[in-house]
Amino acid sequence: MRRRARLALWLLAPALLAGCATVRIVPVAGPDVVLDPRTGSVTAAAEGVSVTVRPSAWRGSPFYLEDYITPFHMTLWNATPQPVSLTYADLRLYDQDRVQATALAPAEVVTILRGGRYGVGIGLAAGEGTAEVQLAFHWRRFHHPFFYDPFFYDPWWYAPPPPRLDEVFTEAFPAGTVHPGARVQGFVYFPRLGRAARSLALEVHYRLGDEARVLRLPFAVQRDPA
């Protein structure tokens, strides 16, 4: 049997797949909000209900989530004697032209991620008198016809593990009822920003008892060339 040595090198490049620029959302000062540069968050409060939001804060799995989704980490504290209630439809994001995006449920986020291109893989292998270069895009295998040797083909060594998507659910903001004195937190997901977006306003609509209220938090969009 031939002696063969295998070397597998995976290069995951989400920025290459998503576009030519890196987008970062940062909180900015505004009326009726408190900016905390130390934590990169902004807080709005009214009559005992406060909302603190941190943009560009996703550190979970999949790591490329921000290539397809715009997540905000949100904490809502109900310091009133009445329940606060809200749904994902009550969380809205507007750009400077008032183009609206509505928060996505975690199941919708998973559908978007599964339809995207999750990464780039490059596998290298060498043996007696043969070499192979293999590329995998979204776990679909493509072989360079010049280097491909069927004798050398081993499909297991370069296939990447499927991405973990359970954290999309476990890290999500639990929309629903926030009882008096309670605090809830998690990620609110929005669709990917349009290319024209330069500034954003996150509106948190909620009901305090039977009354409808809204808190607004401002953000700026920074685009760094890749």
- What digits encode the pLDDT tens for the residues 78-125? 999 999 999 999 999 999 999 999 999 999 999 999 986 544 444 444
Per-residue pLDDT at 22: 81
Per-residue pLDDT at 113: 95
Model pTM?
0.74
Per-residue pLDDT at 15: 41
Name, in order, each residue with C-beta under 8 angstroms of 180's C-beta and a sequence gap of 6 or more: 78, 80, 81, 82, 83
Measured between alpha carbons, how far is 172 from 83 in angstroms, rounded to an integer? Answer: 20
Across the chain, mean pLDDT equals 80
Question: Comparing 2 with 45, which gets the higher pLDDT?
Answer: 45
DSSP run (H or E) holding 170: helix 166-170
- What digits encode the pLDDT tens for the residues 172-192? 999 999 999 999 999 999 999
pLDDT at 126 over 90: no
Per-residue pLDDT at 160: 60
Domain ranges of the chain: 1-85+104-188
Question: Comparing 186 with 224, which gets the higher pLDDT?
Answer: 186
Strand pairing of 176-178 and 183-191?
unpaired
- What digits encode the pLDDT tens for the residues 128-152? 444 433 443 434 334 444 444 444 4
Strand pairing of 199-208 and 91-95?
antiparallel
